Structure 1
């Protein structure tokens, strides 16, 4: 390297580290007044937004999300669905054709911004479909605050994805990502991804929301209802205060990412308190298809107790499970889910997943569009962990994630896997996105538990919560804790598992029996190196475990929840084969095998065990 180039390179690196500086996060306070015309599915909105710039950067522009502008023919979402055809999200299409293309004009999602002001000064703005760029009258300096005011009106779109009117279960209004929402600003810059149908990101904010709507409607929302005595459905003795046949609902919420609500004339509201947990609200239509909601209370109570104990305490005072949306989607202090369910296990599976997003999306608020595998994957891991205890399988499985590992193996065979590192909306195949984000993200934690031991994984998750709850962590922050807890170098694993589609494939190549011992030759047929748990079962059914470390970790696992291990010499990641000799003869053995716990996401497990006869 030439000296001048080396000096320039050193300067660039020094600037990178200088800019990183101490952690910061922006904050916002919304006050909104909403007047709903239920007959026309429209509303008028007024918003005051107090915004604090806690970054070291001076801001000359700000950005807002206008998500509903995606729900119309010709939008970017429509174009993306059309280009993907049957490879895309099945909920956005019918017979491979985009459902957005046929939205009637009067049901298109629309957010018309009348004006926006900064400290009373009218601002110039540009609407770039689902993103609004606002040019400031005065810069927001570091550690300074400013106040935005704006007015807008909106058309509630035909229900296509998550938001909208008249969903397929008959919910009148699902009001999610429904207001002009300021974008997150952090070290990566403004989080201004166009909305194509997947994930969201936002600063932690406080909300004070007043909603006027026909008095026949009941609202479920993520927040605290400040006037329950005036509201139908929330208090048996409520005296409804109506203004021209409209009731006024006053909601507040603190330190959440977004405020969501739904409204329907047929909603009922039930509530109960979880010991040392939140007050839970169930908001749903009471009919034959939603009967299982009546069985949910004891399961939800145990759910929160398990989540609090293993993943960190739920910090908000309430949580609402609301029938609405087109499947399940998480928001601040609530979720919108389909209400119809055949049995309590099916309903709780949905509630367990969406509820777990309160940890891995809300309290630990990673950037979902950039790292959906952290959001959906960690949530899926928590769901699997809890559901295994709420509904123990009739046939005992080797581990709670056995079915997810098998699903991953079967998917890999299709040859359409895409790396988990890809941005959420930029996956080419809908099923590939699901496996990259949900399944590989879940198995990221399962494989870490296998590599460093379940006790170290549990401690990592605990410290992750303790250090990063109510902040915006990244994968680098999580990996830092995992390496510190385990004492292992784990960067190689994250690179293989998240950034590539390379697979794990170990097997037993050969076995030789001698007079006093048995020698087994193992082979690595895959592209991802791993440490290996190797076990033998004696003829009298005793199990002896051996840990064959992989050299890149530099520290070895000696025990975990699945047993203690005798440590063997390490297996270099460049080495194709490995031999292990155990002090047992053929007559003393009944089985030898790789990964008796079956946590290793080996794509070809058929050659992992040999029964000794």
Structure 2
């Protein structure tokens, strides 16, 4: 009996310990030597990668991403675009036909691996589209490191999506996701998603990258340039140091970032300015009449970093670079690639703010974008709306910076093609549905939390979330743990409704009955997501009186909000469709009454939320 008890106790303890495994994250250190043949848009690569396994598991295989292998006819990305047709990403197709299908052979992307070695011994590897599976001779034991060496040659693809040669603004090389990059491994296993044009994930890594290229090229990159006096563009009195092939070697380093990206062009201009208590910012672009707004954008970008530092948390890295390149805007470690020819200052700054804002979410917080794009894109969009509202205040001042996103969401829901935000980023069937699920619903996730618990609580939560999880890989569970701890509320119901379903919020003022000294109001929940309700009365003498109707599922009620004080009424059970209450105002005292005067509630039908009293 005792032995049986001991066995059961041991089994229970083992299972409990497995479920309560402490957090860990893997670590990689890259040292690369790259020799670029700019005339033929190819390069030779050598790489030494020191990989540290901090997990409790022994690793017998590792995986690498070979993103450029996707840029060719017949690839998985080509098939995905063809299958989606006009419902897919418009940048990857013309009139529903995949642009990848017509890439000439000489402009296909390719990363041709010559060998992979572990501690000097050859390894077997198998290339599966944009994923390389490597079988190890010696397993990597927990809390130990190993060294991989490899050589490869690469063909820079036709610029279609993010990476490639000769983008539409004439940038010679946009070098993003350009090297064999080891995949992330965590509690959920290897992050080995095929590349179909969207999301990335990687372990935090250190980089030492030496790029040899024709001396008349200028490089912009996300990192620290270690030899600015020996290359073109970064120092006024620099003397370009060339080798026997008339090439210059650019020496870059970066620490604790997710990837290393760069771009190269003969006509780049390099400018820089420093943000007080922030990074040194570089602009690397073709200076012309078409890019004249870059100069005007500088004070706005200084303010952007200051606002983000105050609202979310301090930017971690020493530099940040905006580089003209790519096909729109895409964030990378310590830099972004953006199209530079802007038609308006607000449009250019908005693009810079969004892509720069990813530094906090996609880079420093480092969510798994492939699994939870709504956290990266959505939270970045939330802070973009917050910052742009202050940088470019609307002509008619409004208190809610998220009004535009709320209206976009309401209009999109009416189209009937919404898909749940919980879906994997690359597996949405409709490109617009992906965008709204990730960008808009992710943004409104935070807006609705602010409405439920009060903006002060939300601000505290996001700052604590950042301080606790920066330079790690948090999930939505980690965010919700902090949100429930700070607010005291149960919020699991809301996350499930908002992220895992396409159910909607729809409340209405069903009936108003006026008495001599009071008014009785009946509200109706016509939607499929229950919410607490903020209800307000505008009196004839222009005073606003606020009431809060809690939702029973939160169990703790909101106690304050920046939109004014309120009186708390009895809670509304989530199973109950109607709710009736009485306020001490007669009809003659009321100018208007209704749901959510702050305009934050993502109610899909606003027409029945307000009653004006004539």
Alignment TM class, shorter chain as reference: over 0.9
Q: Which residue of 2 aligns with 1:451?
A: 452
**How is 1:467-478 mapped onto 2 (pairs within 5 angstroms)?**
467-478=468-479
Tell me how far apart the structure 1 counterparts of residues 353 and 16 of structure 2 sit (CA, whole Å): 40
Q: Distance in 2 between matches of 1:12 and 1:566?
A: 49
Query: Counterpart of 1:30?
Result: 30
| SS in structure 2 of the partner of residue 564 of structure 1 | coil
Provide the secondary structure at the position in 1 that maps to 2:456: helix
Aligned residue in 1 for 2:401: 400
User: Match of 2:173?
Assistant: 173
1:502 corresponding residue in structure 2: 503
Q: 1:15, CA displacement in angstroms?
A: 2.6
Post-superposition CA distance 1:295-317 (Å, at most 9, x none): 12111111111000111000100
* Structure 1 match to 2:291: 290
Offset of residue 12 of structure 1: 8.9
Structure 2 CA distance for aligned equivalents of residues 109 and 582 of structure 1: 68
Q: Distance in 2 between matches of 1:558 and 1:253?
A: 45
What are the equivalent positions in structure 2 for 1:51-130 lying under 5 Å apart?
Answer: 51-130=51-130
2:549 corresponds in structure 1 to: 548
> Which residue of 2 is the match for residue 358 of structure 1?
359
CA distance in 2 between counterparts of 1:260 and 1:560 reads 42
In 2 relative to 1, CA 595–330 (structure 1 residues): closer, same or farther, beyond 3 Å? same
CA positional deviation for 1:239: 0.4
Report if aligned partners of 1:378, 1:442 keep a CA contact under 8 Å in 2: yes
Distance 2:421 2:291 in 1: 36
Tell me the equivalent position of 1:281. Answer: 282
Give the RMSD, CA atoms, in angstroms.
1.3
Residue 392 of structure 2 corresponds to residue 391 of structure 1:
yes
The residue number in structure 2 matching 1:319 is: 320
What pairs with 1:588-603 in structure 2 (closer than 5 Å)? 588-603=589-604
Mapped pair 1:196 → 2:201: no
Is contact 1:20-1:187 (8 Å) kept? no
1:562-587 CA distance string (max 9 Å, x none): 11110000000000000121000000
Question: Distance in 2 between the 1:15 and 1:258 partners?
Answer: 36
User: Tell me, what secondary structure is at the counterpart of 2:48?
Assistant: strand
Q: 2: distance between equivalents of 1:148 and 1:296?
A: 43
Deviations 1:420-459 (A, max 9, x none): 0000000000000000000000000000000000000000
Q: Deviations over 1:507-538 (max 9, x none)?
A: 00000001110001100000000000000011
* 1:558–1:566 CA contact under 8 A, matched in 2: no
Q: Report what 1:250 is aligned to.
A: 251
Quote the residue 2:182 is aligned against. 182
TM-superposed CA distance for 1:349, in Å, is 0.3
CA contact (8 A) 1:30 1:205 kept: yes
Write the mapping of 1:211-360 to structure 2, written as runs, cut at 5 A.
211-243=211-243, 244-360=245-361
**Inter-partner Cα distance in structure 2 for 1:38 and 1:231:** 16
Distance in 1 (CA, whole Å) between partners of 2:510 and 2:11 is 52
> 1:44 aligns to what?
44
The C-alpha deviation readout for 1:218-252, integer Å capped at 9, x for no partner, is 00000000000011100011100112121110000
Residues 558-567 or 83-92, more deviating:
558-567
Q: 2: distance between equivalents of 1:14 and 1:117?
A: 36
Q: How far has the Cα of 1:398 moved from its partner?
A: 4.0
- CA deviation map 1:398-436 (0-9, x unaligned): 400000000000000000000000000000000000000
User: What's 2:140 paired with?
Assistant: 140
- Say whether the 8 Å CA contact 1:49–1:148 is kept in structure 2: yes
State TM-score, norm by structure 2: 0.98
* SS in structure 2 at match of 1:51: strand
* TM-score, normalisation: structure 1: 0.98
- 1:504-583 aligned within 5 A: 504-583=505-584
Distance 1:522 1:12, change over 3 A: farther
* Secondary structure of 1:450 counterpart: helix
Give the SS at the match of 2:292.
helix
Partners of 2:113 and 2:358 in 1: how far apart?
Answer: 31
Comparing 16-25 with 481-490, greater Cα deviation is found at: 16-25
- Superimposed CA distance per residue, residues 554-606 of structure 1 (whole angstroms, 9 cap, x where no aligned partner): 00012211111100000000000001210000001110100000100000011
CA distance in 2: counterparts of 1:13 and 1:406, whole angstroms: 51
Q: Which runs of 5+ in 1 are unaligned?
A: 1-6
Distance in 1 separating the partners of 2:581 and 2:406: 27
Distance 2:597 2:154 in 1: 57
Paired residue for 1:610? 611
Question: Partners of 2:448 and 2:199 in 1: how far apart?
Answer: 25
C-alpha distance in 2, partners of 1:606/1:531? 19
Q: CA deviation at 1:59?
A: 0.3
**Number of aligned positions between the proteins:** 606
Q: For 1:99 and 1:476, how far apart are their aligned partners in 2?
A: 39
Report the Cα offset of residue 17 of structure 1: 5.3
